[in-house]
Amino acid sequence: MTLAGRQHRAADQGGALSPGQGYEELYRAHHARIRRLCRLLLVDRYEAEDVAQEVFVQLLRRWNADDLPVASRAWLTCVAINACRRRRRSRWWQWWNAAAEPFSEDDLFGEGTPEEDAVRRQQRRRIVNAFHRLSGRQQEVFLLRQVEGWSTQEAADMLGLATGTVKLHLFRAMRAFQKALGGVR
């Protein structure tokens, strides 16, 4: 496949290729986002990094086979969610997760001044704890809609759900957040 063909097939929001770009550019453009998504779904930072690397290995295989996804951003997100699901379902993951280090919100949020951290720490902890009390499907829907910014239809397509089901899971997730944060929107 020609470079022009690769550019056309890999073009999407945030994943478009320009002349001379390649796999490395896609990796740089999406790695932090995919790693964060995996970190939120898996909790353990090392497992999240491992799964994120698996996602990019799959992309590299597709790249080398000239079988690029039409929408690389959506494809990477979908592959990451599915990889996290597989990891959570495995027996050794259940055993490993029981012994994992406690979750730290500092792994997800940027470092600020000590004053800013002191003001936000309690609210961050409540948000993170509320997120991890959600069901796996609610976490996925919430991440796709609220964090990643996908439309309801796009999230439904990625997760293989009806749009009404996505809306229901998002509603329940938002209600859980409102309860955890004391009604704050």
Q: Are 83 and 38 in contact (CB under 8 A)?
A: yes
- Domains of the chain (ranges plus CATH)? 1-100 (1.10.1740), 102-185 (1.10.10.10)
In tens digits, the chain (185 residues) has pLDDT values of 333 333 333 444 444 444 345 888 888 999 999 999 999 888 888 888 999 999 999 988 888 887 777 678 888 999 999 999 888 887 565 555 555 545 555 544 556 677 776 667 777 788 888 888 999 999 999 999 998 899 999 999 999 999 999 999 999 999 998 888 876 55
| Long-range contacts at 17-23 (CB < 8 A, ≥ 24 apart) | 22/63, 23/59, 23/60, 23/63
pTM for the model: 0.65
Centre a 10 Å sphere on the Cβ of residue 170 and count the other Cβ atoms it contains: 18
